[in-house]
Structure 1
């Protein structure tokens, strides 16, 4: 039982007062005793006797001196007086030397020196004093000078002694005063402690009175609560005999309190496991709530929950039991379990139905579509061809819907174990982007990916499920994004306790139509579509996100979405993964086979035409090539995937080639030591030195031939580049005429737009150099040297702020306007 805080404070106050008194009173008694002793010493005559003795020594010396002077003047009758005075003075000096009361005084150097001088004179004079009168009279005549000196010595003896005793008396009085002050302080402290104790006792008394009133009110409220609570409250003694039975317990057990007073409570409850054994209340103490059976007066039983706690009253242990009738809860739980079993059975039946029906639908649908394909290869009329084509399109849409439904049915019917195998995250993301880029371009939308923070390489996961999740999310983003942008962000957070584990977060961010806030809660439900009207622009079963959710959960992750209507959406998933080593590569048979291995090459180029040309030539040489559209994207791809070489354009938006090269070299990524080849139409030597200072290994000027590209790769790789593939034709093969025509048309449009823009642009416009440099690179790729030179001249004039030269070079460029050449019908060598 907790102690009353007020009584605790009072006890502590009294204890403190006793301790203070126990310390202060003995100290005060000792100090008072010391004061009394010192006062007695001051009242004693010993100090006065000592001072009288010192003064008497000086007087007796003067008496002796006067007797000596009279004898020296011829008075024979004074010899006996002289001897008597000498004896008296001799005795006085002897007293000062031998008496114990003068021990401390003899420790004074001045007093001791004077005493020694007098002793030497007295010891030397004793034979003369005790000798014949004539000899004494003769010696006394020689004493006056010596006695004059001894008079001062005697005076010093007296004064030093008196001074010493005066100082000692003063010190004793100071000691008495200090002791009295200490007594006063201790007395004050004792009085303050007594006053504080009185204040505490008074306050405690007031608080105890207030607590008494509160306790009475609390008891009244508790009694009211006990009488009105729905739980039965039973109070029993340590033997289990009932002491108190509230109204709820009376109604619960069908007995009045007087009827059960003194009876054992175990008669009214029993365990559901051991029904014939009596229940001991102490075994339930502090064990939480127990489910048991209660016994009514009519013998019927009902389920109860009981919790027992121990308390103390009047020094005796008591048990307080809280009993609750849970008949309704048990019935509700039983109904809930039955409903759950029915729901599980219904879900299983639904899943089995979907699995069977979708399979049965897919089988004839596959035959239908196959026969339609065969029919399209026969001779059909124009109407028949149109009909079969429409039927094939509708059949393919239906097949996709059936596949989605089958995915749901398969996931719900049986969840296969996850395949744990090495997965390169960067390659997986690149494959998803490559596979979906066509659909994105069809909707005039860009699709890219990047790492946020350090890249994670190889991990152990299920590549099929992870790929399907990303395809569903990206496909959904493409479906609702038109003329916008989609980017996949990947971020890996390493586990602090285990560096071999990480949490991967993938975010698919789009600038599409967005999702209303109230629709976000159901966006991952099956058969959910954002637009259910007859006018909706996008198709689908509404199962893609539901499948993504199921697959994410099967991988132990979580998935969610955030969106702003009209601005775009972010779909994210977090997966726990484990780092793993790259899978072992198959052993190459010969060194020649190793030398012929195609290279993985990254092309970082912002100009679409130059990018297409570079990729086409690299692939014609037998290499695998991918592209990034600016320096930042190139850095991200270089950190995510290992490339054998990197072709880096210099002038690009967002991040130029020099800065991108520095980032790659400074990173610890897989391409930190890969050869980087600079691509630029600016072939000045000083610029090439800048490229190498930024960490680039070689330089390839625009325009470049396939032979120059191959030679540069051989130098960068320090070995011969692989030969072109047999199916690519000779090494001088160029893109098809259709591709070249399309690229030339794009270049012509860019030149025409640039001429119109330069005619109104100010020389201080910062975009002049960037646009001229980019188009000059494209012109160099088509060997349009005149156009390239004109653009470089404009770029240099703008950089030098040379307005006259700038206007002149713009005018020269206008003469190369492809629109003029088309109008004249006679294009020149430099025309595009």
Structure 2
């Protein structure tokens, strides 16, 4: 017998289904319980198995167990939870009262009259891999059908008992007629079926009686057609040939006819098997299946109604939230006292927290309803990580936690995938790491674990140095609406949906996700995705080559107390063909400077003993011309601007992008004398816009909600723009007949005429003219694929609600160079 490790689980699943089929013809419930359980134990290579019926949430009854000791370990509460979630549960013995040294697998089944689990006790050495899990999923399908059969037998138990008694006392009817027509015989049941005397074996009498039997059948036309084919060749045979009698059917026969050939006799053997009860049971099953199909149709309609409801709720919730967050952003840019500014910031943070919770719920609903579709556009993995870190940098800075990442050189620069959803996974995992980490670091590591031409399996690991997760809580991690600590006194909040959404998104990307953790040390969440490398990626531009030449061969000394950061900087500098020396010891760094000429030094700000400022002061006294780069996560530096210029060539704030570090190195190397610049200083990307510039843009706002009208009009006013207001799409179209606009902010849901219809009319009005206005949709619907619908209806761009004043400014700045010119 194959060992568990050698088992071909697909083959075992097929064998299970093959052997399950005859069990379904069983008429004894206890036999079904026993044989299905033993069959499951056999093909799962389990040490023991049981079928357990859940009587209520606290009572479970073992219907059959392969070993008697199993009964003492059953936990009804756990079974109730598994049945409620309706998901296969695999865990160690912690799920049972007195855990054996095994792995416990609970496979739920749930029908009207039968609810419970099939339990498997697997040897702890079993590799619970993807193949085994697929085996369980396949087996689950058969067990669901078995549960349905059990339910059917509950309802027809009396009929089934009578049927079994009949089959137990009356054998099949058997008739033989030779080809010559001289011999024939029949048994007692056949005589009674054909209304003949058992002693009357005359072939002509038997043939006439069988002819009469065929004529009495309600499906005689089908029987005659099959008979024509049967008798067309002496060697033809037929089995499971149904002869039906009565309307509704009172008698159903399964007829078999096979040729019999011997030296002296040739003829045909007929076997009539009374399958009336089976036929009726199958009829009931057909009715049950019809009922199930109808219930599924109703469930689908209910799911659609739920999706529509969630879409409407998304709009109804986001619309007022747009006012809350938008007005808070406007208010924050007015003259406020310190107390008032604190209140405004509290409103903003609370609003965005609520929005995050709503987004989790809506995303989960979108995935559950099958409406989540991933894009396949070229995306840069480094950009995805860096943009995620940009959003979390403030939170990390407040806690003094380093945000680090390392991308293996074998990982393609760009892949085809969904940037938004990849960032969503990273955002959830990294923000969880920050939430549960008080000091240390969060590290994202990306490697390619498999690749074939352009097809890669990429592995992302998010490692923190936080509080860790107890082993007995691991089973809760990826469950929906579940948290490791769900008590009323829990320290950390949340919906319990984040990791569940991550698991579903990773699955949509063709991968898996898992977690490893040690309490007090930290946790690592690892997920994989299947991705195709993008051939559109340009890895080395002319500027990149120039930068690489500037850095090649340069000696850099990196001083940091974070070992992980030192390893990353070592690898990165080597990729730039630099000669790095990394150390966490100031004494070692000082000794290295005395023995080796370095081109520049990078020091961390927060270090035990001497911080970055103290180190720089010491080094500048001995090496005044040596450029020093400060790597800071502290935000505030305890020195004035003059001293900063004197000490540091560049100040980088963590987390710094790879391109920022490269620019900092080149800038420091180019400096003959240190000139300070901090990573916090904004770099202008466009000329400053004057009041006259903004006034020249003709803007129309189409919005029906009073609060949102006030919010967007005040935001535009604060930004220096003037705009006209239309309360619905119809008024917007009318205004365009008298006034020429360059830019329209168009709400998609408005009375009388919505934004989609208004946009189509405007597009028809202007056709291909170059002076047609740019239309930017404002939408509060985050569930039903508005993005695709927006572009399908001719809109140029969109802003999802709720949005802030900065979002409006960014959109206007982005589109201003492309706006039509008014004569």
TM-score range, shorter chain: 0.3 to 0.5
Of Structure 1 and Structure 2, the greater strand share is in 2
TM-score by length of 1: 0.41
**Structure having greater relative contact order (Cα 8 Å, sep ≥ 6):** 2
- Between structure 1 and structure 2, the one with the greater Rg is 1
- For normalisation by structure 2, the TM-score amounts to 0.41
The answer to which structure has the higher helix fraction is 1
